[in-house]
Amino acid sequence: MRKVLFAALSGVILTASASFAGNGQAVFQKNGCTACHQAAVDTVGPSLKKIAAAYAGKEDELIAFLKGKHKAIVDPAKFAMMKSQLMKTSKLSDADLKALADYILSHK
Ligand code: HEC
Question: Which tens digits make up the pLDDT trace of 50-80?
Answer: 999 999 999 999 999 999 999 999 999 999 9
The number of domains in the chain is 1
Tell whether ligand 1 has an atom less than 6 A from the beta carbon of residue 100. yes
pTM above 0.95, yes or no: no
CA of 82 to the centre of ligand 1 (A): 4
Does any domain span residue 92? yes
**Where does residue 68 fall: left (phi above 0), alpha (psi -120 to 50 degrees), or beta otherwise?**
left
- Could you tell me which residues come within 8 angstroms of residue 99 by beta carbon, excluding any fewer than 6 positions away? 21, 22, 23, 24, 27
Tell whether ligand 1 has an atom less than 6 A from the beta carbon of residue 45. yes
Does any domain span residue 3? no
Does any domain span residue 7? no
Taking CA atoms only, the protein residue closest to ligand 1 atom 28 is 51
Whether pLDDT at 91 is above 60: yes
For 50, the 3-state DSSP assignment is helix
What is d(CA 83, CA 2) in angstroms, rounded to the nearest whole number?
A: 60
Tell whether ligand 1 has an atom less than 6 A from the beta carbon of residue 86. no
Does any domain span residue 27? yes
Report the half-sphere exposure of 61 (CA within 13 A, side-chain side).
12
Q: What is the CATH number of the domain that holds 86?
A: 1.10.760.10
Does any domain span residue 16? no
Whether pLDDT at 14 is above 50: no
Does any domain span residue 13? no
Does any domain span residue 11? no
CA of 107 to the centre of ligand 1 (A): 15
